[in-house]
Structure 1
Amino acid sequence: MSAQERSSHPSLSVRSLPMARSLCALLVLLSTLVATPAQAAPAVFAHPGVMVSRAQLDFVKGRVAANAQPWKAAFDQMAASPFASLTRNPTPRAVVECGSYSNPNIGCTDERQDALAAYTLALRWYITGDARYATKAISIMDAWSAVLRDHTNSNAPLQSAWAASTWPRAAEIIRYTYTGGWPNMQRFATMLRNVYLPEVVNGSSSNGNWELSMMEAAIGIAVFLEDKAVYDRAVARFRARAAAFLYVAADGPQPKYPPVGGVDTYGELVNFWHGQTTFVDGLSQETCRDFTHTGYGISAISHVAETSRIQGQDLYPELADRLRHALGLHSKYQLGTAAPAWLCGGSLHLGLGPVTEVGFNALNTRMGIGMTNTQTLTERQRPAGTNYLFVAWETLTHAKNPN
């Protein structure tokens, strides 16, 4: 502080300067703490640790071996899928171009489904112990890491998010449970860091399912790469977006504003919530758009919470109220309850998808929360299959899984 600045504050004496400097230093520290994401990354990452842990996999393996239900039926469903085939030929591209709603679709479906195949084969390897499935999963991951360089067009961030939510699940299982070797593993890691991470790590101001899926991908990549800075950054962004995606009455009379995007007035918020003006527990920012995209967001929230729990920072207690209400509300209407006039004008576009199993298991099986509508829908849909984007085989991996 200069002499001229001091003379403009007659109450600030020379004696008080050390205190003032200390106060300034404290303010700088506080501003840094506010600007820097809170530490979320573990001191040591757990592996396999993206959505499924070794304990969870061991539980599933035991249930399938015992021919217990619903796991055996879920395994049989997975094993019969083309994604589990040893004769699958991957179709990698150097550049994947995806426009809105995947139009144009130049490699978009191929990329997503090859990632799902790698994950499916990794699961089949672990459950059966048959090394052929591990080597096939590796061959698919190697095929893409050898050629993929970029994603283009308007859906590039979302396409990247969907594929990169799935690749690390497969890679974690193979890297940390298969002892037969993976010579090109580092090349695959480089692909995650250089091709996928730049597309997802900065988030999105679009509908919430975009950013939630992008943060799921960023967190999965961070676990595989053991990158604590990326993990912390993605978790901080995820927490803000999840709170702005699912409304609960504790938020006040209206939902929270999204963390980015310039939505900062009530009118803009209503428009962002697709015209909805009545807010109840469990309503989603995309409920009045359609249940399919809402399901993408709910699924990503469940997946991130599952990964965070495996990594030692359990986000479920923080998310439990939002997630249980969201699952319950959307399950109720998915089951056939007519929409009241105040909800989306009385007209809902259903299609929630196979997205309830992970959240239901966490909240009901592990935390003991009663969820009648969600339980009815979840059990009716078993065994849950895949949405062909980034959700797959969650009855197998998470039904009644206590781990």
Structure 2
Amino acid sequence: MGRVRLLAAAVVAVLLTGVGVHRAAAAPPTFTHPGVLVSRAQLDFVRTQVNAGAQPWRAAYDQMMASAYASLSRTPRPRAVVECGSYSNPNLGCTDERQDALAAYTLALAWYITRDARYATKAISIMDAWSAVITDHTNSNAPLQAAWAGSSWPRAAEIIRYTYTAWPNVNRFATMLRTVYLPEVAAGRASTNGNWELSMMEAALGIAVFLEDRAAYDRALAIFRARVPAYIYLTGDGALPRGPAGSGIDTRAEIVAYWHGQSTFVDGLSQETCRDFTHTGYGIAAIAHVAETTRIQGQDVYPEVGERLRHALGFHARYQLGEAPPAWLCGGTLTRGLGPVTEVGFNALHGRLGIGMSNTQRLTEQGRPAGTNSLFVAWETLTHARNPA
């Protein structure tokens, strides 16, 4: 699904001699826990930095703890059926579900850093409240809603299950992920804007890790690998971007329409760039999150997606920082608003591999501490800024 084409030969050598460039065909024989987006080693690094008062981690921690998501008085608002139409209209439990899932993750992070059991028990109470009630997602945005909440739940659950002393209803929570969330996201959505399917695969992969479901893991990773080259363009792809696998989008006219009218293609352009940067940011975040989870699980896909991710981050950072777009790009008009989505990819590519990413670095450091987009991205300066683990 596209070669890794990193510009510096030294970086290519690092990629080739480390985990190796290969297409892992199966889930790991043994899953690593906690292992969705953050590992125990990453969490230990964060805890050490926060307790030492080091920056930017301490400021990021203080920001998180001052948020409503970290409140010990939070009352979860579960419902049996979450109904979400386009742009969450109607919004029958959509915001409540996403925010409760983010709160569970926030509280799990707070527990790990502070070792204050109140945060763990509060996270558990939120997860238990939802697992006792929810049965379905309905209306047009059901898959996307399930993807957003389903990306946050496993992050929280992994930390609690594998670092706290007891969670009596953990099996009920696992059943909720398997029966309510996984069926909504597992098959993907080839013909939608790409952020949908990428977010769905992030949720599916995280759920698969928590459930230790190798078949679900393999399926999610296969769909992800097919979608990334159809979402971020590299000149090596040819004159046109690839159409999403299974979508039937393959003629020039269909591809240009699918890319929101864009007919000139350059490295790092996204299928949603000319829609807006906000949705593009969702897709970029999901790509980085999936890559981070696979790395923790010992099946690193950064060598496969790293060059696309690097170019996408750099391309959008330029314009998010204020550079005026040329006339050929989206008719000379951009809708900015990338969001707090650069830390994970920037840390992986620049921090660990040493790849120069000046525009991405400027945007990332300028935005610290990165907060949350209130959907599925949260506290990534805290968890991933300069994190070597």
TM range (shorter): over 0.9
Fraction of identical pairs, as percent: 77
Give, in angstroms, the shift of residue 44 of structure 1.
0.1
* Contact 1:38/1:236 (8 A) holds in 2: no
Give, in angstroms, the shift of residue 257 of structure 1.
1.3
Paired residues for 1:154-233 under 5 Å: 154-179=140-165, 181-204=166-189, 205-233=191-219
Q: Residue type of the partner of 1:265? A: T
Quote the residue 2:19 is aligned against.
Answer: none
TM-score under structure 2 length normalisation: 0.93
Paired residues for 1:295-314 under 5 Å: 295-314=281-300
Quote the residue 1:367 is aligned against.
Answer: 353
SS at match of 1:68: coil
1:344 aligns with 2:330: yes
Paired residues for 1:252-331 under 5 Å: 252-331=238-317
Quote the residue 2:109 is aligned against.
Answer: 123
Q: 1:380 to 1:38 in 2, by over 3 A?
A: closer
* Contact 1:86/1:132 (8 A) holds in 2: yes
- Is the radius of gyration larger for structure 1 or structure 2? 1
SS at match of 2:64: helix
Quote the residue 1:55 is aligned against.
Answer: 41
Give, in angstroms, the shift of residue 260 of structure 1.
2.2
Q: 1:38 to 1:316 in 2, by over 3 A?
A: closer
* Contact 1:38/1:232 (8 A) holds in 2: no
* Contact 1:47/1:176 (8 A) holds in 2: yes
SS at match of 1:383: coil
* Contact 1:40/1:235 (8 A) holds in 2: no
Give, in angstroms, the shift of residue 262 of structure 1.
1.6
Quote the residue 2:362 is aligned against.
Answer: 376
Give, in angstroms, the shift of residue 40 of structure 1.
3.2
Q: Which whole-Å CA distance do the structure 1 matches of 2:147 and 2:26 have between them?
A: 21
Q: Residue type of the partner of 1:240? A: A
Q: Residue type of the partner of 2:169? A: N
Quote the residue 1:110 is aligned against.
Answer: 96
More relative contact order, 1 or 2 (CA 8 Å, 6+ apart): 2
Q: Which whole-Å CA distance do the structure 2 matches of 1:163 and 1:208 have between them?
A: 18
Q: Which whole-Å CA distance do the structure 2 matches of 1:368 and 1:254 have between them?
A: 30
CA shift digits 1:61-105 (9 cap, x unpaired): 000010000000000000000000000000000000000000000
Give, in angstroms, the shift of residue 38 of structure 1.
6.1
1:76 aligned to which of 44, 58, 62: 62
* Contact 1:97/1:156 (8 A) holds in 2: yes
* Contact 2:242/2:250 (8 A) holds in 1: no
CA shift digits 1:209-236 (9 cap, x unpaired): 0000000000000000000000001001
Q: Which whole-Å CA distance do the structure 2 matches of 1:308 and 1:269 have between them?
A: 30
TM-score under structure 1 length normalisation: 0.90
Quote the residue 2:230 is aligned against.
Answer: 244
CA shift digits 1:5-35 (9 cap, x unpaired): xxxxxxxxxxxxxxxxxxxxxxxxxxxxxxx
* Contact 2:24/2:299 (8 A) holds in 1: no
SS at match of 1:148: coil
Give, in angstroms, the shift of residue 252 of structure 1.
1.1
Gaps of 5+ in 2: 1-22
Give, in angstroms, the shift of residue 39 of structure 1.
2.2
Q: Which whole-Å CA distance do the structure 2 matches of 1:227 and 1:146 have between them?
A: 22
SS at match of 1:147: coil
Give, in angstroms, the shift of residue 326 of structure 1.
0.2
